[in-house]
Structure 1
Amino acid sequence: MDGSSEDVRLDGIFLELQFSTMQVGDEKHLVISLRDITERKHTEQEIRNQNELLRLSVAQAEQANRAKTLFLANMTHELKTPLNSMLGYAQYLNMPQLGTLNKRQTEAVSSIETSGRHLLKLVEQILEYSRMEAGRIPLDRSNCDIAGLVHQSLQSFSTICKSKGIELIEDLPTTPVRIECDQTRIRQVMDNLLSNAIKHTDADGEVQVSLLEGTENILIRVKDSGAGIPAEDQDRIFEPFEQSVSGRSRKREGTGLGLAIVKRIVDMHQGFITLQTMEGSGTTFTVGLPYH
């Protein structure tokens, strides 16, 4: 019994009852003390209540997120079928067997095809991101020459850069640099970053791409000479469906998923992506990928 305690409740008041013994001469005495712990008990109960509310809120948020992901996946899948049909009919109208179209008709069909392909690309981006969120896109890792992969991505954008009057500067190692990665997904990262940089760079500007070999990671840098990203937009630039509201992208079309997909893929590779920007002075994205 020495040093023991017990909590008791009396009409809403919580008391801590403590027992101990004390030796006085040849006699041993029982010492009983009472301490009011009502406030502590109320605080503990309030903490339990708040924890339960938090648990329920987290569960509801997770359920809502799963429902959103499922909805996006189903919705985009259903949209692809009529879009592909529309594009098919537009191509069918251009077939010579149906007769020759006049100039206005040709322009109208071309507009249908262009708009349809743009919308299909947006739908596919939404579908892909929803699959990534649901964890349904595993990585297919293999040994890859990352320098060669980056070069291939740059080559695919050379024509559009020339047409826009943008200088594409390449600073890559001349020998292979090998890492373990999903080549398709890392090519997707490069294509998204380059597309983003070119989209936000005006004529007579430049886009620079470099690759550095660090001790633990490969560093890929994509730098543009565009308008930069305002400070208030930088913290959420990698969030899905987010776009800068500055002049950098106010007139640009898109889902706001490109950089979110980039970050998701980089995270899946246990890598990192950073942003350096100043409004009016361009933007640099740096991707770090581990060798293994």
Structure 2
Amino acid sequence: MINSHYEIEERVTKRLLEQTLTAELQLKGIKLPYEYAVKDENGEIHLASENYSDSGKFNKFMARLFPNDIFNRPYFLYVYFPLSNQYIYKSISLMVVSSIALTLIIILVIAYAVYIIMKQKKLSEIKTDFINNMTHELKTPISTISLASQLLADPNIPIENKNIEHLSRLLLDESKRLSAHVEKVLHIAVFEKNSLRLRLKIINVHELIEQAINNFSIQLKNKNGKVYTHLEATTPLVEADEAHLTNIIINLLDNAIKYSDKDPVIHITTMNNEQGIVVSVKDNGMGISKENLNKIFEQFYRVPTGNVHNVKGFGLGLSYVKKMVEAHHGEIWVESTIGEGSTFSIYLPFNQKNTHN
């Protein structure tokens, strides 16, 4: 047992006390700077660090030295951490920032999941609508062909009463119509597989436009439609795939006729710029809302017209046009006003080789 006449200075050195304190604090994971003092029962300081303060603004921790030495004068160790508040604030701030970051990540994940679900739902609805429209569009020519074939094959109808010329023309027209529907779907399928190969040659755009107008002469006559051409391009020759460029013009004309809620009046304009030709197709149709303008080039999308089958189609035409124009390194844009009509414009470069990346 230690004799009672030993003072604390004789039992513990300042260096030993600091080493022991530092080691114990680090063992507890505390690396903050600290101040300390050793006091007796009367509060008199016997050992202290250089910057120790008795100010009451610091939260001090106290422990008795040699607690089992009951016959000696009691001494008490006081320790405080001057930067404890900053440490606490920093720890809390880190936790708050981490919590906010985690919350934001969770919100973003949930939002993304909802977005994917809504997108999948939309795609499902679009594909269902496409299948319904395709079934309707294919059923009509198939039914007509079937009926005409039955009339031709019916032995009970005299040959002179069968109107073979009319039925033959009907079969040919409906076959072409059916083939055109199938071609549209096949074109998109080929493009989706990235297996499209353009057969490039020099094409006269003006001649292509005149041919396309001639192809629509019957439809225009049936709807009392008019087409006015303003072929102002001085250089109408471009390097392009003739079949696809023809389909581009035909699709734009087809839409201009289909989406007219009155007698169609269509203006087709061409002009040159420094690098190519611009073709514009303007109609006097029902127009397209700003909301739908951003969607009309999406695959399977069809502008609402009230009656599901009032305007026939698969929602592939403009999607096909956009993809083919871009395949020719061109551009397409549209301007439209509800109740006044729409203007679709395409730009095609003169030479494809100079536009390859």
Does the Cα contact within 8 Å between 2:234 and 2:272 map onto a contact in 1? no
- For 2:231, the equivalent position in structure 1 comes to 172
CA contact (8 A) 1:276 1:284 kept: yes
TM-score, length basis structure 1: 0.65
How many angstroms apart in 2 are the aligned matches of 1:261 and 1:276? 19
Q: Does 1:148 align with 2:207?
A: yes
Residue 143 of structure 1: how far off its partner (Å): 1.2
**Structure 2: distance between partners of 1:197 and 1:282:** 9
Please say if residues 212 and 249 of structure 2, whose CA atoms lie closer than 8 Å, have aligned partners that are also in contact.
yes
Partner of 2:203, secondary structure, is: strand
Q: Which ranges in structure 1 are unaligned for 5 or more consecutive residues?
A: 1-14, 16-34, 50-81
Contact 1:272 1:289 in 2 (8 A): yes
- Tell me which protein shows more strand as a share of its residues: 1
* Pair member with larger Rg: 2
2:245 is equivalent to residue 186 of structure 1: yes
Q: Count how many residue pairs are aligned between Structure 1 and Structure 2.
A: 265
After TM superposition, the structure 1 = structure 2 runs for residues 188-227 of structure 1, keeping only pairs within 5 Å, are 188-227=247-286
What are the Cα deviations for residues 144-169 of structure 1, in whole angstroms up to 9, with x where unaligned?
11121122112222332122111111
Separation (CA, whole Å) in 2 of partners of 1:239 and 1:268:
16
- Partners of 1:257 and 1:245 in 2: CA distance: 15
The letter for the 1-side match of 2:297 is: F
The one-character-per-residue Cα deviations of 1:46-73 (angstroms, maximum 9, x if unpaired) are 9999xxxxxxxxxxxxxxxxxxxxxxxx
The match for 1:240 is: 299
1:60-101 CA-to-partner distances (Å, cap 9, x unmatched) read xxxxxxxxxxxxxxxxxxxxxx99998876554343784448
CA distance in 2 between partners of 1:249 and 1:97 (Å): 35
The answer (yes or no) to whether the contact 2:260–2:286 under 8 Å persists in 1 is: yes
| Cα distance change of structure 1 residues 215 and 114 upon mapping to structure 2, 3 Å threshold | closer
TM-score by length of 2: 0.55
Distance 1:88 1:251 in 2: 22
User: How far does the alpha carbon of each residue in 1:194-231 deviate from its partner, in whole angstroms, 9 at most, with x for none?
Assistant: 01101112443301101111112310000000110112
Q: CA deviation at 1:183?
A: 1.0
Name 1:288's counterpart in structure 2: 347
Task: Structure 2: give runs of 5+ residues left out of the alignment.
Answer: 1-28, 30-89, 107-138, 353-357
Assess, with a 3 A threshold, how the Cα gap between structure 1 residues 249 and 180 changes in structure 2: closer, same or farther.
farther
2:295 is paired with a residue whose SS is coil
Q: Does 1:95 align with 2:152?
A: yes
Moved over 6 A (4+): 35-49, 82-88, 107-117
